[in-house]
């Protein structure tokens, strides 16, 4: 008998053998053995495999199909004034429903075990956001009717992988947003590095210096701060365009310097307003207090037009869309800034509770505020950012001595 062991690695694979491996991988994805991400990676390697041993390696670690067990598919992802994330290894059927009401949902299909040839995702966002992530090379289509909202699809133009399922997103954003984005497949936890040939010079180690963590790298609770200049249109009318623009430039320099000093991340700025994300509520409040104090000192030293800002802060789960944040947390923080008086910091009850443990902040009595777009009033807390006794700095011109006293805006 001829000994053919060890010779299979030298035999080239045919197109029929590659297609047979792809079909097997498709079946093992359908029974839940492989995730969508793993399927995409192995199909890519199968299509590029030159030898039969390359194809054998793609199937060698798969368990006996008879031993595969089925698990209950996950069909619903719901977030009501909160956040919900579906990622990692999870199993879905042919239909997935995501509902975000003043909250945020994130669905990551890269680790999904998909058992159907086509998956229909119904995404309903009411004053919230839904973010869907798919691996590159998966066919995705989107339809639906936005109502005072938006939908977008940012999928890389890559050839679809043979045998891969198709994802159809039915988006219905109502004063919210639904986004679909493709991302590269996740890196394997372990990789096999071929041995260096004898005499080879070892490559220099890669630079593994950690990048400073920002709120954009975090999942879960994020604190959002909005800051706006009070009566900027009036300033422009009084000073003229050029002088108002110079004042705004000075304002922006102060804002960005204080944000950097307190570990904040500038998400975006528009005109005289800033949206900033923080990893904790305490950092956000420290930054807000430092901003008000910086402008108070500036106004006391400058005889010209004062710069006054009003600030809103809220904490909660958010939905990521690229480098932007969406969801009810963002909306509430923005509305709190609108409701704040000049030189005032207005925080939600959630942010107050998160920052209250440090006992470094003083809050005035809560007051109900009716935020635009919300039917019921919310409790908001003004932050007393200057001491009432022996003040370090004098309150800025026109500011009440107690934050809970009424004042016309």
How do beta strands 177-183 and 129-135 pair?
Answer: parallel
CA angle 58, 60, 63 (to 5 degrees): 115
Answer yes or no: is 21 within a domain.
yes
Spans of the chain below 50 pLDDT: 1-5, 67-72, 187-219, 387-409
Instruction: Decide if 129 is inside a domain.
Output: yes
Do the beta carbons of residue 107 and residue 78 sit within 8 Å? no
Largest CA distance in the chain: 102
140-144 vs 118-126, strand pairing mode: unpaired
The token pair at 216 is 């954009």
Asked if 92 and 36 sit in the same domain, the reply is: no
Question: How many distinct structural domains can be found in the chain?
Answer: 3
Q: Are residues 49 and 146 in the same domain?
A: no
Assigned domain for 391 exists: no
Single out the residue of 240, 222, 205, 176 nearest to residue 333, CA to CA. 222
Q: 278, exposed or middle or buried, with CB in 10 Å at 0-12, 13-18, 19+?
A: buried
Using alpha carbons, select from 386, 382, 383, 384 the residue that is nearest to residue 367.
382
Query: Do 281 and 334 fall into the same domain?
Result: yes
256 and 377 share one domain: yes
Q: Is residue 196 part of a domain?
A: no
pLDDT of residue 225: 95
- Which position has the token pair 């930054």? 287
pLDDT for the residue numbered 220: 58
Q: Report how far residue 397's alpha carbon sits from residue 374's, in angstroms, rounded to the nearest whole number.
A: 33
346 lies in the same domain as 265: yes
Q: What is residue 73's predicted lDDT score, i.e. its pLDDT?
A: 55
Instruction: Quote the pLDDT of residue 112.
Output: 81
Looking at the fold, whether 281 and 366 belong to one and the same domain comes out as yes
177 and 219 housed in the same domain: no
- pLDDT tens, residue by residue, 41-93: 787 788 778 888 888 888 888 776 554 444 445 568 888 877 788 887 777 77
Residue 329 buriedness (CB in 10 A; 0-12 / 13-18 / 19+): buried
The Cβ of residue 234 has, within 10 Å, a number of other Cβ atoms equal to: 11
The residues that bridge with 150 in the sheet, in sequence order, are 177
Contact by Cβ (8 Å): 316, 82: yes
Backbone φ and ψ of 15, nearest 5°: -60, -35
Give me the CATH number covering residue 278. Answer: 3.30.70.1230
CA torsion, points 171, 173, 176, 180, in degrees to nearest 10? 10
Instruction: Give CA–CA dist 105/272, Å, rounded.
Output: 30
Q: Is the domain of 87 the same as that of 53?
A: no
Q: How far apart are CA 290 and CA 258, in angstroms?
A: 7
Residue 198's pLDDT is 41
Q: Flag whether 139 is in a domain.
A: yes
Domain range for residue 156? Answer: 76-183
From CA 171, how far away is CA 137, in angstroms rounded? 21
Cα–Cα distance measured from residue 181 to residue 135, given in angstroms and rounded to the nearest whole number: 9
């Amino acid at each position: 008998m001829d000994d053919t062991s060890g010779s299979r690695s030298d035999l080239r694979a045919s197109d029929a053998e590659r297609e047979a491996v792809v079909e097997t991988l498709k079946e093992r994805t359908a029974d839940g053995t492989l995730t969508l991400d793993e399927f995409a990676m192995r199909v890519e390697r199968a299509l590029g495999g030159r030898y039969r041993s390359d194809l054998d390696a793609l199937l060698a670690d798969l368990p006996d199909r008879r031993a595969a067990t089925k698990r209950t598919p996950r069909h619903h992802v719901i977030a009501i004034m909160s956040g919900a994330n579906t990622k990692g290894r999870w199993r879905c059927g042919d239909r997935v429903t995501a509902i975000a009401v003043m909250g945020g949902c994130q669905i990551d299909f890269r680790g999904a075990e998909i058992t159907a040839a086509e998956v229909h995702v119904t995404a309903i966002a009411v004053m919230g956001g839904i973010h869907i992530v798919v691996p590159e090379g998966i066919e995705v289509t989107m339809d639906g009717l936005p109502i005072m909202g938006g939908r977008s699809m940012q999928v890389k133009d890559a050839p679809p992988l043979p045998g891969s399922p198709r994802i159809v997103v039915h988006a219905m954003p109502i004063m919210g947003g639904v986004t679909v984005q493709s991302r590269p497949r996740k890196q394997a936890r372990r990789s096999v590095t071929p041995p260096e040939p004898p005499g080879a010079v070892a490559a220099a180690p890669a630079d593994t210096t950690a990048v400073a963590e920002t709120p954009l790298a975090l999942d879960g609770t994020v604190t959002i701060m909005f800051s706006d200049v009070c009566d900027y249109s009036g300033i422009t009318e009084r000073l003229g365009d050029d002088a108002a623009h110079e004042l705004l430039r000075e304002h922006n320099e102060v804002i960005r310097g204080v944000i950097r000093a307190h570990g904040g991340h500038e998400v975006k700025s528009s005109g005289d307003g800033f949206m900033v994300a923080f990893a904790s509520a305490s950092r956000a409040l420290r930054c807000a207090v430092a901003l008000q104090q910086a402008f108070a000192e500036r106004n006391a030293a400058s005889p010209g037009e004062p710069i006054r800002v009003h600030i809103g802060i809220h904490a909660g789960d958010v939905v990521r869309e690229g480098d932007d944040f969406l969801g009810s947390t963002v909306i509430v923080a923005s509305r709190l800034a609108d409701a704040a008086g000049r030189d005032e910091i207005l925080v939600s009850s959630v942010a107050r509770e998160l920052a209250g443990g440090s006992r470094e902040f003083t809050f005035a009595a809560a007051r109900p505020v009716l935020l635009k777009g919300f039917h019921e009033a919310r409790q908001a807390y003004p932050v007393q950012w200057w001491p009432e006794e022996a003040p370090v700095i004098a309150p800025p011109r026109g500011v009440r001595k107690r934050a809970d006293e009424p004042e016309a805006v």
